[in-house]
Amino acid sequence: MSRELDNRKLRGVRLCSGHCVREMMAGKAIIVMGTSGAGKSTVGRLLAAELRCEFLDADNFHSAQNKEKMSRGVALTDEDRMPWLETLRDTLIDYIIRGQCVVLACSALQPHYRDLLRTADYEFLLNETTPEPVSTPTSNDINHQHRRQGKSLSSLVVFVYLKATVGVLSARLAVRDIAGTHYAHASLLQSQIDALQFEADERDIMDVDAALPPAQIVRNIQKQLQV
C-alpha cells in the first residue's frame, strides 16, 4: 500500500467521531486459510452465506503474471506475493472501517503474510502514528510480534485454518486438475506444505478439520467464533 493511501486511511480513522468508531467495531474480516485443496473457497462461500456477508477469493486478486507462473507449477516468491497481499489488506480495511463483515479465502501460509493482513484491523491504524512502509520481509529486518499482542478470536481480523492430511489434499487437487477448474498446478502443493508455518503467539487462528463436510465445518467455525 502506498504511503499516500496509508496516510489517507489513517486520517480517515483519526478524524472519525466516537459514533463512527463504534460502527467500525462491528466490522470483521474472517480469513479462511490453508494450502491448495483445503476447501477455502467452498467453506468461505458457505460461511459468508450463513453470515450474510460478502465473500472474496484471494485468487481473483492475483496479477496475470502470478497466475501464469502458478499455471506452470512455479511457486511464487515473496516479491510476487507482497503487492497481492497489500491489495488484500487494503480491501479488508475498506470493509472493516465501514463496519461490515467479510470472509476472505486466502492461503496466508506464513506468519509475516498474516501479519500484513492483520494490519487491516483499524486498531492498528489508531495505535500507529506513522504507518511503516511495507517491503519484502526477511527474518532480520522485520518483527511483527507487537501486532499480535492482544490478538484473539475476538479480534477484527481472525484466521480459520483448514487442516487436512496430504492424502486428502492431493486427492482433491487431482480431481481439480482433471476438471481444469483452477489455474494453479497441483504440483505446487508440496511447496505450499513446506511454506506453511505458525508462531506460538498467533492466538487469532482457529484450526478446523478440513476433511469434515463443509456444512459441519461452517457450524464449527460459527460456534468457535460466536458469529
pLDDT tens for residues 76-119?
889 999 999 999 999 999 999 999 999 999 999 999 999 999 99
Rounded CA gap, 120 and 97, in Å? 9
Structure letter (DSSP) for residue 32: E
- Split into its structural domains, the chain has a count of 1
134 touches 116 (CB < 8 A): yes
Domain span including residue 43: 3-225
- Please give the pLDDT value at position 154: 87
* Share above pLDDT 70 across residues of the chain, in percent, rounded to a whole number: 71
The CATH number of whichever domain residue 169 belongs to comes to 3.40.50.300
Q: Specify burial of residue 216 (Cβ count, 10 A radius: 0-12, 13-18, 19+).
A: exposed
Structure letter (DSSP) for residue 21: H
How confident is residue 3, by pLDDT bands cut at 50, 70 and 90?
A: very low
Residues in a beta bridge with 156: none
Rounded CA gap, 215 and 139, in Å? 39
